[in-house]
Structure 1
Amino acid sequence: MAGSGIGLIDLAVILFYFAAVLAIGVLVARGVETGDDLFLAGRRLSWPEIGGSLFASNISSTTLIGLAGAAYTSGIAVSNFEWMAGVVLVFMGFFVIPIFLKSRITTIPEYLQLRFDRRARLYFSAITILLTIIVDTAGGIYAGAVVLQTFFPDLVLWQTCFALALVAGLYTAAGGLAAVVYTDVIQTVVLIVGSTILTIIVFGQFGYSWEAAKAAIPEGHLSLIRPLDDDSLPWLGTLVGVPVLGFWYWATNQYITQRVLGARSVRHAQWGANLGGLLKLLPLFIMVLPGAMAIGLFPDIENGDEVFPTLVREMLPVGLTGLVLAGLVAAIMSSIDSTLNSASTLVIKDFVEAPETPIEPKRVGRLGRITTLTLMLVAAVWAPQIASFGGLWNYLQQAFSILVPPVAAVFLLGIFWDRGGRQSAIWTLVSGHIVGLALFLATDAGWWPLHYTVNVGLMTAFSVLVFVVVALNEGYPEHAKTDGLTFEPGMSPEDDLALWKRPGVQGFVILALTAAMIVAFW
């Protein structure tokens, strides 16, 4: 079981990948002229492109490292965030996508203006831009650089951060969402193939015997549903917190939902969401279980973040190591390019291009490219500074529990209830974030003992209460604020489709597979 290390062939595979994504950016750039081309790929994306891009943009370097490490140290419950995505994407395809696409929005905050008012749109957009660049983009760059340093110790942090940002920024600025999606499709294939090969090789160390692999894994590590007092993910958090976090991430997060908004039709958007949901069932088997099985092969790893690099270095032969590392680079690039493109879209469409001051389409494209490169530089400069924050970075990651509940409450009630107007939305957002911040600080100080996923459920209930109270006192909004912007039965008829093409039938199959997986690993 001696490792092969990193050979010249592996480096050649990685360099080939970098060259390929840059070439795609250059080729796609030839067809990008307007803001719609840059931000929404001309609204011509098909379902395979949407589904593959949803999967690849979601799988970051921290996901590959984190899933294996968490499975090694605490068990497979970490994959609850993965399979729950399939449930949320099915829900999103049936209830949310028809509304978003028929309203022809370019940004998710734009829906809040149509349904409520411009204050809600700008408030949510500003928060999203800040977190996208400071947390998502810079965090992805930093995490990617740190991961690459584990394989190539001579790399300098700030230089690696800048190189990653530069490559992703150039092809994103050149080709926009189309370049992001087309490279994501390649990245999806590389991620799945590379992770599958690693899983097969690791499983082979146990003679391809599931019983032998289970015997090497501590009791309780193979359970998805954990006790209420579990430190990693209690069952109550899975029930009330993870679905809310999932809805925010998949249905209201610009950098994920943007490829859905670029669909050529509602049908392709729904099929793409279902494909993404189906693919999200894979991480348990090809990213999480290898980390759990690593306990039987390398029982003395102290830092969970070293599990994935150890498996790659020690288990894979020359060439395959390069393929898996290319998958790692793919995960890094797909997260960076998606966040850059979405943040640029929000800046231009929500703040620069106001309704009263329309901008010529080709100029919007130029401004978008300039914005993308500017944000790239900001993220590249900020990324190395994260190293000096130490534990604060993990602190910031959990701070998403502050942002999510009021946003999820406003979108869900806005979509499913025809009450609530401009005051309901802004009061829910502001009060929810203030109370959420107080609860978060109390938890961090040790005054509040509940797990942060349980706090998400509590804060969602609080936000719903605020919205309902204000809405009932505000009266009914005008018809233009609800017509086509709230869900109505029959918005997405399926009678004209073959049975296997119906999004509802596809969704049922995905939910059935999810249920079977949960039962098998209960």
Structure 2
Amino acid sequence: LEIGYGAMFLKMIWNLNIYQTMLVLLTISGMYTITGGLTAVVYTEILHAGVMILGSILLMFFAFNEVGGYEAMTYKYFHSIPSVISKGNWTAKTECYMPRPDALHIFRDPISGDIPWPGLVFGTTTISLFYGCADQIFIQRCLAGKNMSHIKGGCILCGYLKLLPMFLIVMPGMISRILFPDQVACVVPSECLKYCGSRSSCKAIAYPKLVTAVLPNGFQGLMLTTLCAALMSSLTSIFNSTSALFTMNIYTLMRPRATEKELMVTGRFISIIYFTFLIPTGV
């Protein structure tokens, strides 16, 4: 999904071949992960994080300026309806193209809400705890910490950074629907196919469409860098975690006396295998 979304973004901006783009992104990510290991991943992700936050903040300010501010966004969002809702004898259901009345509420009705508040509190919270506290990608970063103070500080920083997506991702996405309702909120299959190549929905183009529409050319380049940074950060984390899981949990059982060098070579070999597997499946 991440590879395809990144390639689609590049195609929208530069009209590049989506399959060639996916191959290039996979190759670059795989090469510096395999050769540099976790050290390369950590250093590049520090740079990526700064670029991502800066680019997203710039886009947020440009987007709010375009729509007229927060109050204007909360009003206009509920009136962002596509102009084409029917074709021939077929008409889309109202709930398919009308914004939900509880769109600005976190805790939604337990019966009619698309994400009922009991599920949010007791279900999503549990999943988030697992993802944030037990996922291999995060655990690996903690194990690579210099000491416990660094590890705790990093976890606290990540917790605060988790507050940003509401303002840097969700709200710009809502603004994109306001500015381009016919494209982002399309419901007629032929219209969606025309705008994004999918017959079901074009929600995935909301963010890249906003980038290409509201940002000057120079800033579009920064956002392109931001997207590539986010994409490659995710890919390198997956590459590195996959090799670490196999090496430390499976290979050490087969060879308990394996040396550090042997484990390193094995980890890189597993990364190469996984990378080779991802190319045909991703492309």
| TM-score bin (small chain) | 0.7 to 0.9
In structure 1, stretches of 5+ residues that fail to align are 1-138, 385-522
Q: How far off is 1:229 after superposition?
A: 3.2
Q: How far off is 1:220 after superposition?
A: 2.7
Answering whether residue 12 of structure 2 is matched by residue 150 of structure 1, we say yes
Partner letter of residue 376 of structure 1? F
Q: How far off is 1:354 after superposition?
A: 2.0
CA contact (8 A) 1:255 1:342 kept: yes
Q: How far off is 1:152 after superposition?
A: 3.6
Q: How far off is 1:211 after superposition?
A: 2.2
Answering whether residue 202 of structure 2 is matched by residue 202 of structure 1, we say no
State the alpha-carbon separation in 2 of the partners of residues 162 and 206 from structure 1.
Answer: 36
Deviations 1:53-86 (A, max 9, x none): xxxxxxxxxxxxxxxxxxxxxxxxxxxxxxxxxx
Q: How far off is 1:141 after superposition?
A: 2.7
Q: How far off is 1:230 after superposition?
A: 4.5
For residue 238 of structure 1, the aligned residue among 112, 117, 120 is 120
Other-structure match for 1:284: 166
Other-structure match for 1:226: 108
Partner letter of residue 227 of structure 1? D
Partner letter of residue 244 of structure 2? T
SS in 2 for 1:264: coil
SS in 1 for 2:130: helix
Other-structure match for 2:92: none
CA contact (8 A) 1:221 1:292 kept: no
Other-structure match for 1:215: 75
CA contact (8 A) 2:6 2:231 kept: yes
Q: How far off is 1:213 after superposition?
A: 2.4
CA contact (8 A) 2:30 2:239 kept: yes
For residue 250 of structure 2, the aligned residue among 344, 351, 354 is 351
CA contact (8 A) 2:67 2:179 kept: no
In structure 2, stretches of 5+ residues that fail to align are 79-100, 187-201
Other-structure match for 1:459: none
Answering whether residue 142 of structure 2 is matched by residue 260 of structure 1, we say yes
Identity rate, percent: 32
Other-structure match for 2:130: 248
Q: How far off is 1:147 after superposition?
A: 3.5
Q: How far off is 1:210 after superposition?
A: 2.7
Other-structure match for 1:163: 24
Runs of 4+ in structure 1 over 6 Å off: none
CA contact (8 A) 1:141 1:380 kept: no
For residue 181 of structure 2, the aligned residue among 295, 299, 302 is 299
State the alpha-carbon separation in 2 of the partners of residues 263 and 270 from structure 1.
Answer: 9
Pick closer, same or farther for the CA change 1:310–1:146 going to 2, 3 Å: closer
State the alpha-carbon separation in 1 of the partners of residues 70 and 48 from structure 2.
Answer: 29
Please give the TM-score of this superposition, normalised by the length of structure 2. 0.80
Pick closer, same or farther for the CA change 1:161–1:293 going to 2, 3 Å: closer
Other-structure match for 2:47: 186
Please give the TM-score of this superposition, normalised by the length of structure 1. 0.45
State the alpha-carbon separation in 1 of the partners of residues 271 and 250 from structure 2.
Answer: 15
State the alpha-carbon separation in 2 of the partners of residues 153 and 232 from structure 1.
Answer: 36
Q: How far off is 1:369 after superposition?
A: 1.4
Deviations 1:319-369 (A, max 9, x none): 100101110111110000000000000111111112862211112112211
For residue 208 of structure 2, the aligned residue among 301, 305, 309 is 309
CA contact (8 A) 2:29 2:236 kept: yes
Q: How far off is 1:160 after superposition?
A: 2.4
Q: How far off is 1:255 after superposition?
A: 1.8
Other-structure match for 1:367: 266
CA contact (8 A) 1:196 1:286 kept: yes
State the alpha-carbon separation in 1 of the partners of residues 259 and 64 from structure 2.
Answer: 57
SS in 2 for 1:205: helix
Pick closer, same or farther for the CA change 1:170–1:328 going to 2, 3 Å: same
State the alpha-carbon separation in 2 of the partners of residues 236 and 280 from structure 1.
Answer: 21
Q: How far off is 1:283 after superposition?
A: 0.7
Deviations 1:80-133 (A, max 9, x none): xxxxxxxxxxxxxxxxxxxxxxxxxxxxxxxxxxxxxxxxxxxxxxxxxxxxxx
Q: How far off is 1:256 after superposition?
A: 2.4
State the alpha-carbon separation in 1 of the partners of residues 31 and 7 from structure 2.
Answer: 18
Q: How far off is 1:188 after superposition?
A: 0.9
State the alpha-carbon separation in 1 of the partners of residues 35 and 114 from structure 2.
Answer: 41
Q: How far off is 1:298 after superposition?
A: 2.1
Partner letter of residue 221 of structure 1? A
Task: Count residues in correspondence.
Answer: 244
Other-structure match for 1:333: 232
SS in 1 for 2:106: coil
CA contact (8 A) 2:136 2:241 kept: yes
